[in-house]
Structure 1
Amino acid sequence: MKVAIIYNKDLTGVINEFGLQNKERYNVNTVKKVAEALEHGGHNVRIIDGNMHVIESLQEFMPKVIEGERIGMVFNMAYGIQGESRYTHLPAMLEMLGIPYVGSGPAGHALALDKVITKVFLQRYNIQTPQFWVFSDDKSDMSDVQYPAVVKPKMEAVSYGLKVVQNADELRAAVKHIVSEFQQQALVEQFIYGREFCVGLLGNSDPEAFPIVEIDLGGDPGAVQTASDKLYNPRRKICPAQVPLERAAYMVALSKQAFTTLGLKDFARIDIRTDKDDNVYILEINSMASLGLTGSYVYAAQVAGYDYTALVNKMLDVAAVRYFSETLHVRGASPLTTVKTPLSVRLRGFLRSNADKTEKLLAHMVNINSYVRNVDGVNTLGTLVQKWLKQLGFELQLIPQVEIGNVLLFNNTGSEPDIMLLSHLDSSTPFTKHIHYRETPHKLYGTAIWNSKGGLAVMIAALRALRFARLLRKMKIGILLTTDTTLQNRITQSILESTFKKAKIVIGLSGASPDGSVITSRSGAAVYNCQMNLENAQSAEDVAQANAHFNSLLAALTKLSSRADNVLVTLRDVTMKSGVSTLYAHGEASLSVRFNDTYHAEIIDEKIRHTVKKAKCPHCRFQVSGSMRRPPMTRTQEAEHLYMLIKDICQKLDIRANEEHRWSSSDICFIESTKPHIDGLGPVGQAPHDDEEFILRHSLLDRAILLAMLLNTLTQEKHT
């Protein structure tokens, strides 16, 4: 299942800073710990910042049910950024988007976060809670308050602002501080001398209660836990608490009643104090019980038999049952770590923890201009890739090229490779039009980032992950990086053909389309140059007729496109120059032709030449030159087998995989049709225009784990 963990990292990610700013947030290490636990449970996990970009990030990652994919879920760890009822902000947004999530809904969070409303509900249902008062300022009549009393903000958690007061002066000062500091009413409640307990609940209709935790107050019935204590000097926890079984059962029953009364879901922590006569008082209910490793909720779960991985996955399971099926299997408390960690979990964990390094490498590559004629730039990019591959045990065979930059051929075994990875270093964008790397929360932009450089980053990340898993040394992998893809391999065609013959399987690293495609076939390419020249013009009318006839010829050529024959003829780089003071007219156009088999390539070649030959215009001469540059990459049974392997891996990883025929040609088109091959293992993205080329940020990890798992599967197939 796809699971998006949403927490608040960037508290400035709003349109305006307005209202009360949140002080409560998760430590990033705790968030990563939750992600590791969910990955261990077999889920495809993304960590998303719960700021104003969260909807766009979810759109990129979460599957759409209408497309027939498994629905994903959100593991909500977002306390909110600012404003009132901040716990409700993300759940309300997810309700609108139609995305299921772990934890209580907006109504439950609103009731639980507002301590005054919580107490009103508890009293309404005869659940004992300390007597309380509410004040909006320090000038109010406070004569009814009984001392000692506890003063705290009415809509905060983790004991922010909590203070025990002994008299009216202390009370007024505490109320003034809370109203000023927290911009909300102050809740004043009767202080209960005695012991303090926590009850953790997990589940819904009859939630499981963890063993009761007692907060060790050191024998002082007047002691409390402040926010500072919880953060810097947490008190010792005793679990299970030393209370009679009957009293413990009563605490649990009251906790479950309070949980149900407020309409909470999935999990919560109930805070309790008992007085000297063992009367039980519910202080408050935390609808987003902390998953910090030192927190009482996690501690109680451990005593109940849950390790961290089991607890986090159980929380996801109970939410999934609530949404999808009452009969869905829910994991119990038996630790998941007793079995060997699946390879996909180990790979994903490594890739996620090294995501920043992968993006930094990609940024470095994108910022190098490697225009096909910029030999220094191409070689600089090649040197960077070589440095990373050398660390992974790959040896370089450099094939010098003066005109276009050096072709690089790598091998990690010294023998002929079983699998050849294919990409290129050159791009079609000159230095003056180069777009440097930039990022948004969900997309990465820059020249050649989708076309080639994203694929290079995916390759290096996948190989690093395989080395981490100690599998790379068992594989025989070659890597070929060409430098004239933009020129349709006019120079390196023979290198490609000879290299392909030595490999058993070839995998291309071109970027994938937005639907997560894998390329099983490509069109071939032919390029023609059509020219017109006006000779011996007698009048301005001859100039006009020459231009008109050339336009008509170009229109006739594009009409040679045939949907039935899968032939596409398009115009590129049309230039026309003419004058009437000095009579002249010149025209030139480049024709790009795409075809899916060589038979129709030969037919369209004849048609193009015949169309130009029969073009008639007084005083004009027409000519055409050109031919096939690349053959088509046809879909074969071998390619279908590779695609089915990929589709099976993607299904297990919960990654999108669709088959694509791509109308553009590429280096891989020179492969023999009998050789197993597939393309499109680079990151998901698009290049609608030169300055808008992008990849989806999360797809770097998805495609890296896909490539790593595919390489491992193919290696295992070879040995079986």
Structure 2
Amino acid sequence: MKVAVIFNKRKNTEGEGVINVFGAQNQETYNPATVERVAAALEQGGHNVRVIDGNIHVIEQLQDFMPRVMQGDQPGMVFNMAYGIQGVSRYTHIPSLLEMLGIPYVGSSPAGHGIALDKVTTKVMIQAAGLPTAPYWVFHNADQIQGDIPFPVITKPKMEAVSLGIQVIHDMNSLRTAITGLVVQFKQPVLVEQFIPGREFAVGLLGNHNPEVLPIVEIDLEGDAFGIQSLEDKLRKPKNKICPAQIDDKLANELRRLTRETFKVLGIFDFCRVDFRMDEDGNLYILELNSMASLGMTGTYVCAAKAAGYTYESLINRMLDVAVERYFGKEFDDAALNREEETTITRKDPLRVRLRSFLRSNIGTMEDYLEKMVDINSFVENIDGVNLLGRWISSQLSGSGFDRQVFSMSEVGNVLYFTNHAGEANDVLIVGNLDNPVDYEDYISFSEERGRIYGTGVSRGKGGIAVLLGALKALRYTRTVKRVKIGLLFITDDSKGGSSSRTIMQELSAKSNYVLGLNGAGLSGEIITASLGSTCFNIEVNRTRSKVRNQFFSDEDDPVLYCAHKINQLKKLNSEENSVFVTLTGMETRGNEDQPVYHAALSFILRYQNPEQSKKLDVQIMRIFESKPHGSVRVNVTKGAQRKPFLSNNSTLQFYDQIEKIAKVVEVRINKEETGITSLLANVAPGVPAVDGLGPRTGGYGSKDEYIVRDSMIDRSVLLAYLIYKIGRQFG
């Protein structure tokens, strides 16, 4: 199951992650180490996990990650650890958003969280249900304080948690000072409760219809009946916990009963913790219910769960299961396990789990790799830059058991070939490109924004190389890479149609069982099983007359109007049915200040499905731009880079079927693309099963705004790594 763990990162600046600063700012956040521990626990449970910051971009990130249930995908879940960023009832913000989006989640509803966070509403509902709680008062300012309040009392901001602002007060002057200070600091009313000297207990609950009450925890106040657990205690030196609490069965049963009743009265789901004080006469008082009980290792909830026999991993996965059962019924999880695609490999496949866990924790490293590659100018004409990128990749592979072979080229950078074995044949040949067609004057530097990574080449090869490096490191970490005979080919003339590396690719692919291309996928995760061929055309049009008879434009002697007429003819070649497309890529003109244009240059790309089409279209292009013997313009047609179409075959389609099964196991969304714009694999030997698009999901391909989806590097690396592993086992 796909599980998004949502939490709130600590903000470096006020207003980060929101449109405007509004209301009280949240001071309650999870330690990132705890979030990582929860994510790792879910991965050990066999789930596909992504950690998401619960800020302004959360919808976009969920939309990118979550399954499409209406399209037949297995539902996903959110494990909600987000306390909210700002404002009133901040616990409710993410649950409300999730309900609007239609995404199920672990934890209470917006209503339950809103009631539990509001200490006054909680007291009102507890009292109305006849449950015991201490007498209380609510003040908006110190002037409202009555003179008959019995001391000692304890102060609490109305809408805060984790002991923020709590103080034990013993006299009226101190109470006035405390209320004035708390109202100014938290900008909300203050709850004042009669303080109950005595012992303190915490009771955790897990489940819904017949929830499990965890072993009772007593907070060790070291014999101090007036002791409390302050925020400083929780952060710096948490008080010791006695679990199970040393109490008799009668008291234990009453604590369990009151916990269940409070859970029910406040409308809480899945899990919570209820805090109690007990006076010297044995009377119990409900202090509050925490609907977001801390999952930190020193927290009382985790302490109680361990006493109940849970490991941290089993606790977190049980919390998820409880929510799944609430939404879908108890049978859902077992039914999901028996899906046809998962009969041979269960959800808890150890390799799949280890690969994803390793790659998710190393996404920062892959991002660093990509930034380094983007910083290298590998424009196809910059041979030194292309070779520099090749040397950098060689350095990354040098310690991974790969040997290098260099094919020296005269007009482009050196082609590199790596293998991790001494034989001639490869189980799999993986192909990437070092060059890109973007000159340095149009270079876009590396940047990240809203979960997207921008930069020259990120979608044209460098993103795919980052995915490959991540996959190889994950396979090495799991000690499975040596079981597969891998060949890695990095060409340097992809921008020129692969003409210089054609023979090398044909020979190496003919010796490989399968071929994979590292081109970026589309935003829907397209795997390319076939792609169009293309030919670049450059048309130059010159006026032949030495003098212009008229100071106005005419079709007879104006190159611009000539080109406009021919563009209309080119447009008629477009045919979606036959997969023929003409793309205008540029137009330039020259002229004197007071004279009509005397020169025009037109460039376009013609894309086609097969070689036969290419021949017929060439004839049509030449006919369109044929010069008249005595015309007033002279036309010159030049062919530029030409790329063969990447043709599908039965073995490729069967190969894709295997990839599709693997994608379902590792929960990576893919689609088959049979008319891709371009592919690295046009020169693969005929009949060899080959697919392209194993790089990250991309947008803006072919433009200055090209980008990859950052987190897709994890998914595509998992897919690539698992695919390499299965190829080595012949899909067994």
Q: Report the TM-score when normalising by structure 1.
A: 0.93
Provide closer, same or farther for how the CA distance between residues 178 and 38 of structure 1 changes in structure 2, counting only shifts above 3 A. same
- What is the CA–CA distance in structure 1 between the aligned matches of 2:633 and 2:181, rounded to whole Å? 91
The residue aligned with 1:161 is: 165
Greater alpha carbon shift after TM alignment, 37-46 vs 319-328:
319-328
Q: Which amino acid aligns with 2:316?
A: V
- What is the CA–CA distance in structure 2 between the aligned matches of 1:582 and 1:215, rounded to whole Å? 93
The residue aligned with 2:650 is: 637
Give 1:622 shift.
4.1
Provide closer, same or farther for how the CA distance between residues 165 and 533 of structure 1 changes in structure 2, counting only shifts above 3 A. closer
Q: In the alignment, is the contact (CA less than 8 A) between 1:570 and 1:592 conserved in 2?
A: yes
- What is the CA–CA distance in structure 1 between the aligned matches of 2:250 and 2:349, rounded to whole Å? 41
Does residue 316 of structure 1 match 2:320? yes
Give the alignment of 1:300-699 within 5 angstroms. Answer: 300-325=304-329, 327-329=331-333, 342-416=350-424, 417-535=426-544, 540=549, 544-546=555-557, 547=559, 548-577=561-590, 585-613=598-626, 618-626=631-639, 629-687=642-700, 690-699=703-712
The residue aligned with 1:3 is: 3
The residue aligned with 2:61 is: 57
- What is the CA–CA distance in structure 2 between the aligned matches of 1:617 and 1:103, rounded to whole Å? 82
Q: In the alignment, is the contact (CA less than 8 A) between 1:615 and 1:622 conserved in 2?
A: no
Gaps of 5+ in 1: 332-338
Give 1:616 shift.
6.8
- What is the CA–CA distance in structure 1 between the aligned matches of 2:672 and 2:154, rounded to whole Å? 64
Secondary structure of the equivalent of 2:646? coil
Determine which of 111, 117, 126 is the counterpart of 1:122.
126
The residue aligned with 1:714 is: 727
Give 1:533 shift.
4.3
Secondary structure of the equivalent of 2:398? helix
Q: In the alignment, is the contact (CA less than 8 A) between 1:537 and 1:584 conserved in 2?
A: no
Secondary structure of the equivalent of 1:146? coil
Deviations 1:506-565 (A, max 9, x none): 100000001111111111223344444444567547974143445434433442333443
Q: Which amino acid aligns with 1:668?
A: L
Give 1:604 shift.
2.1
Q: Which amino acid aligns with 2:415?
A: V
Give 1:180 shift.
2.7
Provide closer, same or farther for how the CA distance between residues 179 and 552 of structure 1 changes in structure 2, counting only shifts above 3 A. closer
- What is the CA–CA distance in structure 2 between the aligned matches of 1:557 and 1:355, rounded to whole Å? 46
- What is the CA–CA distance in structure 2 between the aligned matches of 1:635 and 1:375, rounded to whole Å? 32
The residue aligned with 1:336 is: none
- What is the CA–CA distance in structure 2 between the aligned matches of 1:195 and 1:341, rounded to whole Å? 47
Give the alignment of 1:215-364 within 5 angstroms. Answer: 215-325=219-329, 327-329=331-333, 342-364=350-372
Q: Which amino acid aligns with 1:136?
A: H
- What is the CA–CA distance in structure 1 between the aligned matches of 2:564 and 2:628, rounded to whole Å? 11
- What is the CA–CA distance in structure 1 between the aligned matches of 2:427 and 2:175, rounded to whole Å? 78
Give 1:670 shift.
0.7
Provide closer, same or farther for how the CA distance between residues 435 and 614 of structure 1 changes in structure 2, counting only shifts above 3 A. closer
Give 1:289 shift.
0.3
Q: Which amino acid aligns with 2:422?
A: G
Determine which of 69, 72, 76 is the counterpart of 2:73.
69
- What is the CA–CA distance in structure 1 between the aligned matches of 2:332 and 2:305, rounded to whole Å? 22
Secondary structure of the equivalent of 1:522? coil
- What is the CA–CA distance in structure 2 between the aligned matches of 1:68 and 1:251, rounded to whole Å? 45
Does residue 189 of structure 1 match 2:193? yes
- What is the CA–CA distance in structure 2 between the aligned matches of 1:657 and 1:708, rounded to whole Å? 15
- What is the CA–CA distance in structure 1 between the aligned matches of 2:678 and 2:180, rounded to whole Å? 72
Secondary structure of the equivalent of 2:579? coil
Provide closer, same or farther for how the CA distance between residues 499 and 132 of structure 1 changes in structure 2, counting only shifts above 3 A. same
Q: In the alignment, is the contact (CA less than 8 A) between 2:83 and 2:91 conserved in 1?
A: yes
Greater alpha carbon shift after TM alignment, 478-487 vs 547-556:
547-556
Q: Which amino acid aligns with 1:446?
A: G
Provide closer, same or farther for how the CA distance between residues 559 and 247 of structure 1 changes in structure 2, counting only shifts above 3 A. same
Q: In the alignment, is the contact (CA less than 8 A) between 1:10 and 1:49 conserved in 2?
A: no
CA RMSD of aligned residues (A): 2.5
Deviations 1:364-389 (A, max 9, x none): 11122211111222122112111111
Q: Which amino acid aligns with 1:384?
A: W
Give 1:213 shift.
1.3
Greater alpha carbon shift after TM alignment, 628-637 vs 46-55:
628-637
Q: In the alignment, is the contact (CA less than 8 A) between 1:543 and 1:580 conserved in 2?
A: no
Greater alpha carbon shift after TM alignment, 655-664 vs 569-578:
569-578
Greater alpha carbon shift after TM alignment, 555-564 vs 206-215:
555-564
Give 1:617 shift.
5.9
Give 1:174 shift.
2.7
Deviations 1:262-304 (A, max 9, x none): 1111110000122222222111100100000111111111122
Provide closer, same or farther for how the CA distance between residues 553 and 82 of structure 1 changes in structure 2, counting only shifts above 3 A. closer
Give 1:657 shift.
0.8
Secondary structure of the equivalent of 1:525? strand
- What is the CA–CA distance in structure 2 between the aligned matches of 1:111 and 1:127, rounded to whole Å? 16
- What is the CA–CA distance in structure 1 between the aligned matches of 2:594 and 2:479, rounded to whole Å? 76
Q: Report the TM-score when normalising by structure 2.
A: 0.92
- What is the CA–CA distance in structure 2 between the aligned matches of 1:217 and 1:464, rounded to whole Å? 50
Provide closer, same or farther for how the CA distance between residues 552 and 182 of structure 1 changes in structure 2, counting only shifts above 3 A. closer
Give 1:619 shift.
4.4
Q: Which amino acid aligns with 2:716?
A: R
Q: In the alignment, is the contact (CA less than 8 A) between 1:135 and 1:185 conserved in 2?
A: yes
Q: In the alignment, is the contact (CA less than 8 A) between 1:317 and 1:330 conserved in 2?
A: no
Equivalent pairs counted in the alignment come to 712
- What is the CA–CA distance in structure 2 between the aligned matches of 1:558 and 1:135, rounded to whole Å? 75
Q: In the alignment, is the contact (CA less than 8 A) between 1:596 and 1:632 conserved in 2?
A: yes
Q: Which amino acid aligns with 1:288?
A: M
Give 1:474 shift.
1.7
The residue aligned with 1:334 is: none
Give 1:329 shift.
4.5
Amino-acid identity (%): 43
Secondary structure of the equivalent of 1:427? coil
Gaps of 5+ in 2: 336-346
Deviations 1:198-238 (A, max 9, x none): 11111112211111111122233332211111222222222
Give 1:154 shift.
2.1
Secondary structure of the equivalent of 2:556? helix
Q: In the alignment, is the contact (CA less than 8 A) between 2:46 and 2:349 conserved in 1?
A: no
Deviations 1:572-606 (A, max 9, x none): 33345467988984444334222222222222233
- What is the CA–CA distance in structure 2 between the aligned matches of 1:470 and 1:52, rounded to whole Å? 40
